[in-house]
Copies of this chain bind each other. A is one copy, B any other.
Amino acid sequence: MDKQIHNRKLEQLITNGVPEDDHAKKISDFFKATGEPTRVKIILALSQTSLSVNEIAEILNMSQSGISHQLKTLRDARIVVGERFGKEVHYRLVDNHIVRIFEQVIKHADE
């Protein structure tokens, strides 16, 4: 038999809803995409201007392939979008939601 829920705090959580797996997964998927230094640098760079893959690789001093892989992760998390112009693909942040989230986190990290 399960342990009994025995206090007010747990009752409150039961009523307001224990965190659901799907919900938590969605949220952590976003954070997972931003939880890596290279991808953070990409996002910070794109917060200033849109950039092609090679430009990002040049700025961050990494291989084109490495950057392309990371951009895929960021695309999957709907953090960046790429638009093709001829041979190049210009990447930019999806919206400035992202920038606002980063601003808050930077504030938090600087305390």
Binding site for B on A (CB under 8 A): 3, 5, 7, 9-10, 12-13, 16, 18-19, 21, 23-41, 44-45, 48-51, 55, 58-60, 78, 95, 97-98, 100-102, 104-109, 111
Contacts and interface: CB of A to CB of B under 8 A. Distances in A.
A82 B51 CA distance: 43
Contact of A108 (B7, B30, B108): B30
> For the complex formed by this chain, how many copies does it contain in all?
2
Query: Could you tell me the dominant secondary structure of chain A's interface residues?
Result: helix
B58 A44 contact: no
Contacts of A25: 37
15 contacts: A5-B58, A9-B55, A10-B55, A10-B58, A10-B59, A13-B48, A18-B45, A19-B41, A19-B45, A26-B109, A27-B40, A28-B35, A28-B40, A35-B35, A98-B108
